[in-house]
Amino acid sequence: MEAVACSLEEQELQEYSTMWLEAVRQMRAAEIIHKNLGVGAEVELPNGMSIYIESESE
């Protein structure tokens, strides 16, 4: 029973980690789009927050 619980917990952590990695990819894409097109983008994070991304001024 303990092994099943550990396996389920590990799987849940892996899924959550994957969601955060995807959010980071979306943030980087939004930064690149802003740099090239001058428009930012809203990214929704796995914790339910939304942020607006644009590149830093150079």
pLDDT of amino acid 18: 92
Q: Is 46 exposed, middle or buried (0-12, 13-18, 19+ CB in 10 A)?
A: middle
State the pLDDT at residue 8. 82
Position 57 confidence tier, pLDDT thresholds 50, 70, 90? low
Residue 40 is predicted with a pLDDT of 81
What's the pLDDT tens digit per position in 6-48?
888 888 899 989 999 999 998 888 888 888 888 888 888 888 8
33 contacts 39 by C-beta, under 8 angstroms: yes
Q: Is the pTM of this model over 0.85?
A: no
